[in-house]
Amino acid sequence: MFISGIGIIFTRGRGIDRFENALKQGWTDPFWTDSFPAYRVAKEVLSDAALSKKIRRADKFSKMAVYSAFDAFKDSGITLNNNETLGIILSTAFGPHTTTFSFIDDILDYGDAGVSPTKFSNSVHNAAASYISTVLGSCGPTVTLTDFSYPFQNALLLAESWLKEKRCKHVLFGCVDELSTVMEYACKIKMKTAEDGKIRPFMFSDCPVSVLGEGGVFFVLSDEKCNNNYAEVTEISFIGEIKNNYDITIIDADGMAGDESGYENITANGLPVAGYSPVFGSMKIGSAFNFAAACLMLKNQHIYKSPVLDNRIQVNLCPSTKEANITGINCVRICRSDKISIINLQK
């Protein structure tokens, strides 16, 4: 399976070029509201006159999904003679929960007959995927997945099965999640927020710090190498092993999944280790952003410096941004400390 296009929206802007610049720049201070840090997507990032006409009733969640999906499709450079050859998969942890809670509040305030039907339609998880298929004119299979632990990995597995079964020639798949006051409130109570605004991926703590983020990342996956090829996915596994003959291991530690002490064993083999969550924030879909960083590394043959280098056990980190000969990257996520996801990428 080959990655042939990437679209991304995150706290520093829209587009894979902006993401690459952020990886080169490293950590920057998050937005602070009432002493609470978070990496938010600014309103102006979601201003696109051409696309907005087609999704003028969409909420923030759907806009982030549509813009990143549209950019991924455009970046791939593929052309579709038959619009049924494109499958669409959107994966999320919390869905459009801002709109959902607003809709529930309206029911409480105004009753069933007084709520907005537009707000109701946008509160449905599959609304964003529907907007994407409408904008692209796709008639292929379209589905939304919801998962709290491995939303990106499960979307990738489903995309792989669609390609193997010849359901479609290309799959546009990705992840989206947003911030809200409800999310911030819950995380203030349940999680440990970084007081200085820095996520520390390499402390391997059983009580890690977090800084909430939001955004969307989409990829175009094809069964054959396309002109704009980033990398090849060679294996997706929950029982596999780290490829010791690969060049780098990227970990998803961001404080969002709880106990991160299991990453200590993952990094004990001496391979260079990176983690880029301090660039985009803590999210259940953070794997998608780290996966995008791995794709950029393989395509551009660049190693990007880990943005926060605090290192409890002195593992072998990527200390600087530089050109390098990279042939393989392990992308690793641990959730609940007892289940490990490993995605292997090759040039």
Q: What is the CATH number of the domain that holds 90?
A: 3.40.47.10
- Rama region for 244: left / alpha / beta (φ>0; ψ in -120 to 50; rest): alpha
Domains identified in the chain, total number? 1
Q: Are 173 and 156 in contact (CB under 8 A)?
A: yes
Residue 63 pLDDT = 95
Residue 226 pLDDT = 85
Closest CA to 69 of 152, 176, 166, 151: 176
Least confident span in 56-65, 68-77, 97-106, 289-298: 97-106
pLDDT at 17 over 60: yes
Residue 337 pLDDT = 57
Each residue's pLDDT tens digit, 96-151: 998 888 878 778 877 877 778 777 777 888 899 999 999 999 889 999 999 999 99
Mean pLDDT (whole number) for 54-63: 91
Residue 335 pLDDT = 86
Mean pLDDT of the chain: 92
Domain extent at residue 47: 2-346
d(CA 168, CA 217): 21
Per 3-state DSSP, the chain is made up of helix, strand and coil in percentages (nearest 5) of 35, 25, 40
Each residue's pLDDT tens digit, 228-251: 999 999 999 987 778 888 999 999
Residue 168 pLDDT = 92
Percentage of the chain beyond pLDDT 70 is 99
Mean pLDDT (whole number) for 326-333: 96
Rounded to two decimals, the pTM is: 0.95
